[in-house]
Structure 1
Amino acid sequence: MTGASAAAVRHYDRAIDELLHFRAEVDAEANAALAESPDFPMGHVLSAYLGLLTTEAEDARTARARFGAFLRRTDGAALLPRERAHVAAVRALLGGDFLTCGTLLARITAEHPRDALALAAGHQIDFFTGDARMLRDRVGGALTAWHDDDPHFGHVLGMYAFGLEEAGHYDRSEEVGLRAVELNPRDVWGIHAVVHTYEMQGRFGDGLRYLDARTPHWSSGTFFNVHTWWHYCLYALETGDVPRVLAIYDAVLAAGQGCMELLDAAALLWRLHLEGSEQHERWRALADAWPERVAEPFYAFNDMHAVMSYVGAGRIGEAEKLVAGREAYVAEPHPGVTNHDMTLRVGLPVCRAIVAFGRGDYESVVELLLPIRHRVNEFGGSHAQRDAVQRTLLEAALRVGRADVARMLISERIGVRPCSPYNWLKQAALADALGDGAAAALARARAGELARAATA
């Protein structure tokens, strides 16, 4: 690395360690590195990634200004090849081109598989773009360059485990994720990968026990603990323990400030909303937190959760205003801006569907979501997060009497996760709608058996 004193390099190394642990101290260490060496190229690269990957528009503006000032006083030709490659990746990200940034980072990883920053930043890009194959293969392609005695080998395994899970390799994901946490019990991303695996398999009892056994390691001290509590709540919802879910919401999720935390809160309340549990005061506080964060188009996945919050709070007009703003946004060309295509292809149909659900227009919800249900990954997030969209489609189909669609969706869900009480309760609702009381009773009994078995 060029342009760095020994002290700056020490701060940089500590920043990478904090980043892989998802600890807030990463910002202080990155700033300290630049304080020691104001023109340290990789220090500026790290700082830019930190600002651009929060999905916060204000953070992105600050990162653009800071990185732009660095570029204006820097001779790019004097940088080392890998430094130039990182600068090019940051430039793409500054321009809103997530896909090109991800491609450029993949080239760095191919040449330098032990570049932890390239791996971590690329992994987040793949998450934000919903690219399950790259979530798996970006890290998988670097794995043999790492060894058991590397201090961050466990963190690399944790990233790989999450990629395996998103790509559907659940047995392997569990194995790799458990190994990552064995190497580093405070690897919250590794814990998160195991939790996702249990969620996808419907093993919510295993998930509760796994998180309970490790609560001190994941529940505080990182900027990821709120999200892990959200996963805990998903498991508790499967057991039907709504009071426990709301207690956790009030203690942890309600205090969230950033987009990532706000969307977790919205996604949880929306699941309750779909089941008829209205949380007016909680929705009102959440809806108040969104306007400044979605004042401009930046990340369509955030837009969806803002619309959920407005609809949940009964503020349909605000939801429609946000949708209209995004319609104006996609009507203008934005070459190379990934969010433009995300909004056009997925974000707007989903937001319109949520507004329609809030208005009770369930037929429109089905018409909007059914054609895109197999490509909602295109606007980012995980399978678990995007399940809110799938549940909205299913609930709308049930409410509007589209038994054909509801039967198909429920059959798919039970086939993949036969141990999910939610899936069996929806089977019961469908049977009720069809007038088959006996089938409904059997499905409800099955849901109850599964819930009791998991918490026994």
Structure 2
Amino acid sequence: MPTTRTGELASIDMDMSIAFLAQNLGGYLSEGRVDKRSSAYAKALTAFELLCNLNFRDREIALELISGDVLTSLYDMFPNVVSALFSWASGDLIATRQYWVAHLKLVPSDIVVSFMLHMLDFLHGHSDCYEQYLLDDARCGSPRLGGFYQGVLAFSLCEQGRYIEALPIALEAHQKNANDVYSLHALVHAWHGVENHGAVVNHLQQVDAWRHNAGMNIHVSWHMAISLLQSGRLEPSVTAYRAFRALSAGHDAEQDLDAVNYCIRLYCSQLPGPDFSTEYALLARNWAPSIYNSLSYFNDLHAAIAFMLAGDRTLLRKLKKRPPIRVLDKDLQKVGSQLISAISSFADGDYMACARELHSSQSQWYRIGGSRAQREILEILLKFTLRFADVSPAKTSKSEATSS
């Protein structure tokens, strides 16, 4: 059960740690900071980063990192925060959320834990829960961290489809601290939501700080590339794609979400462009280990698309036949299975079956997590399949007969 004691907990000022979090998220592993910083907080934050990757491997590493007496001093101050990390690393998502909610009841001004809970809900498709703890304008007044919090707040509004409300908040947040990548990220999402792709491109070309943020530079570069693509500017879009692919550290699948997301958009656009077959093969190879390592159907969707683009039916079949992710609820397992099946049908050229699977699961797409902007690929695929459903009439007829 969540700990409910107060005392020194309520008097702790978390401002110093959120600045640490906001500017360095994603940087510890790539820059070797775990070895250099042995403090309990650094290890807890690294564990949080690893858990956000949503795979068995990194969950085990996170659990090992925070096990034993490593976090004793942090637990004494923030028992619910540490208990939440242990619960997440142990696969108990319900308890994770309960602990962080309990902490926020004691320390409602804690922007660090607001962000952590936000990420848990974001990754697991619970944008409907944001209003419980994020829509608190009082926290925006923090002289040092108000901009960061406003950025998270604006992003949460975007994920509820409230782009018009999000835009002025994101603009104000970005003006408070132009170097804060999260307020910039929220601003980009707000512009994306109102289809102002020109504003995205122009602003990202004018500001520079995001390019040096190890945790977000790849993703923000993806926004640049897809905004250029949406504007019909194919050549600079592909150039932007090549630029963020060059930032990828090694061949871990977690680095390739944005790459796959871009590639399926390019594929469905049918714009005459360069041959991407080698790129597709590399992405499929990178995603192969994720088949039995994944804790996310959002990740699985991108893995399936990578296999489909590469024409690797063997990997796609393995993913489709893999047991469901049992730590997730059965409704989510069903949605995830439907989406993988839809991509498999797409790979077979059975566009009608693909469209049927996508349409039947459409109201539940949000459950797989990720942002609305990232999940746009499902809308793009649905429109593509409906447009070309009559390309293979034999397979279409077969699908109709099978389903009747």
Q: TM-score, normalised by structure 2?
A: 0.84
* 1:10-49 pair list within 5 angstroms: 16-26=18-28, 32=36, 34-35=38-39, 40=40, 42=41, 44-49=43-48
Match of 1:383 among 372, 382, 385: 372
> Does structure 2 conserve the Cα–Cα contact (< 8 Å) formed by 1:294 and 1:302?
no
> Does structure 2 conserve the Cα–Cα contact (< 8 Å) formed by 1:56 and 1:259?
no
> Does structure 2 conserve the Cα–Cα contact (< 8 Å) formed by 1:44 and 1:67?
yes
* Counterpart AA for 1:221: N
How far does residue 296 in structure 1 lie from its aligned partner after superposition?
2.2
* Counterpart AA for 1:19: L
More off after superposition, 285-294 vs 315-324: 285-294
* 1:51-62 pair list within 5 angstroms: 51-62=50-61
1:153 alignment partner in structure 2: 146
* Counterpart AA for 1:134: C
Change in Cα spacing, 1:43 to 1:165, as seen in structure 2 (3 Å) is same
How far does residue 164 in structure 1 lie from its aligned partner after superposition?
1.1
> Does structure 1 conserve the Cα–Cα contact (< 8 Å) formed by 2:339 and 2:357?
yes
2:8 alignment partner in structure 1: none
How far does residue 263 in structure 1 lie from its aligned partner after superposition?
0.8
Change in Cα spacing, 1:221 to 1:49, as seen in structure 2 (3 Å) is closer
What are the Cα deviations for residues 361-407 of structure 1, in whole angstroms up to 9, with x where unaligned?
Answer: 011111211111111110100111111011111111111149xxxxx
How far does residue 136 in structure 1 lie from its aligned partner after superposition?
4.5
**Secondary structure in structure 2 of the residue aligned to 1:21:** helix
> Does structure 1 conserve the Cα–Cα contact (< 8 Å) formed by 2:54 and 2:294?
no
How far does residue 264 in structure 1 lie from its aligned partner after superposition?
0.4
Change in Cα spacing, 1:69 to 1:356, as seen in structure 2 (3 Å) is same
> Does structure 2 conserve the Cα–Cα contact (< 8 Å) formed by 1:274 and 1:395?
yes
* Counterpart AA for 1:364: A
Q: Distance in 1 between matches of 2:214 and 2:46?
A: 18
* Counterpart AA for 1:376: W
- The answer to whether the aligner puts 1:166 opposite 2:159 as a matched pair is yes
Change in Cα spacing, 1:15 to 1:74, as seen in structure 2 (3 Å) is closer
Q: Distance in 2 between matches of 1:158 and 1:187?
A: 9
**Secondary structure in structure 2 of the residue aligned to 1:70:** coil
- The answer to whether the aligner puts 1:274 opposite 2:268 as a matched pair is yes
Change in Cα spacing, 1:177 to 1:30, as seen in structure 2 (3 Å) is farther
C-alpha RMSD over aligned residues = 2.8
* Counterpart AA for 2:229: L
Q: Distance in 2 between matches of 1:254 and 1:395?
A: 29
Q: Distance in 1 between matches of 2:254 and 2:24?
A: 13
**Secondary structure in structure 2 of the residue aligned to 1:240:** coil
> Does structure 2 conserve the Cα–Cα contact (< 8 Å) formed by 1:16 and 1:26?
no
1:232 alignment partner in structure 2: 224
What are the Cα deviations for residues 257-291 of structure 1, in whole angstroms up to 9, with x where unaligned?
Answer: 44443010001001112233662111111112112
How far does residue 135 in structure 1 lie from its aligned partner after superposition?
3.3
Change in Cα spacing, 1:189 to 1:159, as seen in structure 2 (3 Å) is same
1:425 alignment partner in structure 2: none
1:449 alignment partner in structure 2: none
- The answer to whether the aligner puts 1:199 opposite 2:196 as a matched pair is no
Q: Distance in 2 between matches of 1:29 and 1:87?
A: 21
1:412 alignment partner in structure 2: none
* Counterpart AA for 2:212: S
Q: Distance in 2 between matches of 1:61 and 1:132?
A: 27
How far does residue 300 in structure 1 lie from its aligned partner after superposition?
1.4
Q: Distance in 1 between matches of 2:338 and 2:175?
A: 42
* 1:100-179 pair list within 5 angstroms: 100-141=95-136, 143-145=137-139, 147-149=141-143, 151-179=144-172
Identity across matched positions, percent: 22
1:434 alignment partner in structure 2: none
> Does structure 2 conserve the Cα–Cα contact (< 8 Å) formed by 1:14 and 1:29?
no
Q: Distance in 2 between matches of 1:324 and 1:343?
A: 16
Q: Distance in 1 between matches of 2:332 and 2:319?
A: 12
> Does structure 2 conserve the Cα–Cα contact (< 8 Å) formed by 1:18 and 1:26?
no
- The answer to whether the aligner puts 1:371 opposite 2:371 as a matched pair is no
What is the count of residue pairs matched by the alignment? 373
What are the Cα deviations for residues 301-358 of structure 1, in whole angstroms up to 9, with x where unaligned?
Answer: 1111111111101112211111111xx235xxx4xx23x5475122211111112111
